Amino acid sequence: MTAASGDVEANDVEASDLEALARRGRQLVIDSVAHSGAGHIGGPLSAMDLLVALFFRVLRIRPEEPHWPERDRFILSKGHSAIGLYAVMALRGYFPVEELATFDAGDSRLQGHPDMTRLPGLDASTGSLGQGLAVGLGIALGARLRGLGFHTFVMLGDGETQEGMVWESVQVAAKYGLGHLTAIVDCNGLQQYGWPAAPGEEGRGDRRDPLAGTRLGAALEAFGWRVLEIDGHDSHAIVEACDDARASAASARPTAILAATVKGRGVSFTEGRFEWHSRVATADEAAAARAELDLVEDRRA
Amino acid sequence: MTTAMRDAWAQTLIDLAGDNPDLLVLDGDLGTSTRADRFAAAWPDRFLQMGIAEQNMVGVAAGLATLGYIPWLSSFAVFLTHRAVDPVRMLVAQTHANVKIGAAYTGLLTGFTGKTHQDVEDLAIMRAMPGMTVIAPGDATECAAAVRWATATQGPVYLRLARDAGPDLFDGSYVFEPGRVIPLRAGSDVLLVSTGPQTARCLEAAEMLATSGFSAGVLHVPCLKPVDAAAILAAARGVRLVVTVEEHTILGGVGGLVAEILTEHEPRQLVRIGIADTWGESASNAFLLDRHGLSATRVAERVARELAGVGSSAGAAS
Ligand SMILES: Cc1ncc(C[n+]2csc(CCOP(=O)(O)OP(=O)(O)O)c2C)c(N)n1
Ligand SMILES: [Mg+2]
């Protein structure tokens, strides 16, 4: 498998480094949210391994030149996980890690939801769910019209796929054969409030899985997409799936990567708890989370 | 501690559901924020989760209404007045469906969510729809009364709910009447016309103005549509300057409403305080109110400045 970094410099960190970066990213999420007194925890933590793998191994980007025209594009359609994206962008060198302390504050570039008019490096503004894939589709279409060879990745939440607009994009992307468009779905089994889990029903936490009773992969395939299903906490699998998507850009079929994740991943008391969708850690909880993330070795090892 | 409107909204629906078997609550995966989760706990069979799919939710409500149900929608205002505006317009407003839009997290003060979630255009949009009743309560008591009125009245209603608790304006004797405007303070120099939680900040500003020697009246407009235009005109006659103040864009909300009424009947100068055709951002409530000139202090300063510009009368110079 070729390194995704291509002609762009130095994305090649080891898998173990990716895991260390993800732990650091998770700490930054919890601390930034505790510091600002608002924000989301569950979604940023479930997406962290995906974001780290994307920004450190997959995306052809130049943090020092965020508007580089040939960069790969990345859109966080589940915009409420902004703090996760900001933490990874800071670690990748887009801005100083200290700037995370301004998250959610007035005049900050780090708004509660990603704001491309404020922060260079964001390829779309999001926050109202279901709209990011359409922008990615437009970018991918524009890239083809302009003859640019970059790849566009869009990350969605599993709950977010309930939005009708997602399916409008899914159909149009397939019609235009946009093999250089990839959707990554953070399948963490929870949304904000959702439906209560039925007794005995297999779900994560005490709420029903947003995709319970549906087959997202089959639906996407039915609309003409390629579908890859991976463990969204396995850095190696994430990089491999993204490389596979890029390698099949010429196939004229967009790729959806369904990443199985755990909401609130990395901290024992946030994992699989719908309440942590947008809770703020108390000082004690933040300290406990920090200690866990410092100690925990990769659980899969 | 005063009650937040969303708490009053949920509690009133819980109270009403017993006597009203047709009352339902439909949620767009935000019940934990809007407090619809409390209704769900109290009346699990009358709570319908609709997921993150607001346009569909509005259509479902329109369908339920044809069978005599009274669906209350639970979501953030933006997702109802913007994302789902076409279904609201065609399926609810144009058919005069008996659907109640419980629009949570309105205005600027939406808990750090930022401009994507700050609905500062909702009054303009909803007010433009024929047949829509548009209510922006000033406190939890008025909110609860509006919920009771709306549930008992046939037709579409938009209810603008503030996220955070504010000062109490009314006591338990309050009765909601559509269109009524409520004088809360008399004054001879300036009339502050306001709505929603901004009315409380205007009362505070009026106190500040009084200490600077200006007599400021406050007129509360809890229902923008229908509205008692004659009462607004009458209140405006007694003062040197009319100022509208709202946690909403200055286009099409209370500022627009009062401008239309004055211009049509008794043209005169009007000052509109509100979000000045710009977007909000993530920030603390104090920051946002100050930035957009809506804190009591900023309102008082601005009004004093404007009064200085319209010539002197009894009011002392600042
Ligand atoms: C159109 C729209 N409706 C509702 C919301 C409120 N909201 C924010 S996050 C969320 C749940 C998202 O669930 P999911 O997509 O599964 O994200 P994750 O689990 O990764 O947090 C909801 C309903 C929104 N931001 N946009
Ligand atoms: Mg989810």
Structure confidence by residue, pLDDT tens digits, B102-151: 999 999 999 999 999 999 999 999 999 999 999 999 999 999 999 999 99
Same domain, B148 and B207: no
Asked if A113's CB is within 8 angstroms of B114's CB, the reply is yes
Compute the nearest-CA separation of B311 from chain A (Å).
37
Domain-embedded: residue B313: no
Residues of B in contact with A126 (CB under 8 A): 116
CATH of the domain at A88: 3.40.50.970
A272 — alpha (psi -120 to 50), left (phi > 0) or beta?
left
Average pLDDT over residues B46-75: 98
B52 ligand 1 Cβ < 6 A: yes
pLDDT at B100 over 90: yes
The list of chain A residues with pLDDT below 50 reads: 1-10, 297-301
Domain-embedded: residue A107: yes
Same domain, B236 and B294: yes
Counting from 1 in the atom list of ligand 1, the atom nearest the Cα of B83 is: 1
Domain-embedded: residue A267: yes
Residues of A in contact with B49 (CB under 8 A): 193-195
Structure confidence by residue, pLDDT tens digits, B202-259: 999 999 999 999 999 999 999 999 999 999 999 999 899 999 999 999 999 999 999 9
From the CA of A80, how far away is ligand 1's center (Å)?
Answer: 7
Structure confidence by residue, pLDDT tens digits, B278-298: 999 999 999 999 999 999 999
CATH of the domain at B303: 3.40.50.920
Structure confidence by residue, pLDDT tens digits, B156-204: 999 999 999 999 999 999 999 999 999 999 999 999 999 999 999 999 9
From the CA of A192, how far away is ligand 1's center (Å)?
Answer: 6
Same domain, B153 and B223: no
Tell the residue nearest (CA) to atom 6 of ligand 1: B30
A130 ligand 1 Cβ < 6 A: yes
User: Please, are residues A165 and B84 in contact by the beta-carbon 8 Å criterion?
Assistant: no
Q: Which residue of A has its CA nearest to B77?
A: A128
Domain-embedded: residue A296: yes
Q: What is the mean pLDDT of chain A?
A: 92
Domain-embedded: residue B177: no
All residues at 6 or more sequence positions from A241 whose CB lies less than 8 Å from its CB, including other chains: A228, A230, A257
User: Please, are residues A237 and A230 in contact by the beta-carbon 8 Å criterion?
Assistant: yes
* Number of Cβ within a 10 Å radius of residue A14: 10
* Three state DSSP letters for B244-302: EEEEEECCCCHHHHHHHHHHHHCCCCEEEEEECCCCCCCCCHHHHHHHCCCCHHHHHHH
Domain-embedded: residue B250: yes
Domain-embedded: residue B312: no
DSSP annotation of B49 reads: E
Same domain, B33 and B97: yes
Same domain, B19 and B77: yes
Same domain, B126 and B206: no
Asked if B49's CB is within 8 angstroms of A194's CB, the reply is yes
Query: For chain A, what is the domain count?
Result: 1
pTM of the model as a whole: 0.95
Dihedrals φ, ψ of A81, to 5°? -95, 20
Asked if A104's CB is within 8 angstroms of B112's CB, the reply is yes
In whole angstroms, give the CA distance from residue A89 to residue A191: 24
The whole-number pLDDT of residue A198 equals 81
A 121-180 residues with CB below 8 A of B?
125-130, 159-160, 162-164
Counting from 1 in the atom list of ligand 1, the atom nearest the Cα of A158 is: 16
Residues of B in contact with A106 (CB under 8 A): 281-284, 287-288, 291
Domain span holding position A50? 16-300
A270 ligand 1 Cβ < 6 A: no
Ligand 1 pocket test: which of B26, B27, B29, B105 has the largest number of ligand atoms within 8 Å of its C-beta?
B29
Domain span holding position B193? 182-307
Same domain, B230 and B282: yes
Counting from 1 in the atom list of ligand 1, the atom nearest the Cα of B116 is: 25
The whole-number pLDDT of residue B181 equals 98
Query: For chain B, what is the domain count?
Result: 2
The whole-number pLDDT of residue A188 equals 97
Asked if A111's CB is within 8 angstroms of B29's CB, the reply is no
| Final residue before a domain boundary, out of B93, B126, B160 | B160
Tell the residue nearest (CA) to atom 10 of ligand 1: A192
| Final residue before a domain boundary, out of B126, B160, B194 | B160
CATH of the domain at B56: 3.40.50.970
The whole-number pLDDT of residue B317 equals 36
From the CA of A234, how far away is ligand 1's center (Å)?
Answer: 24
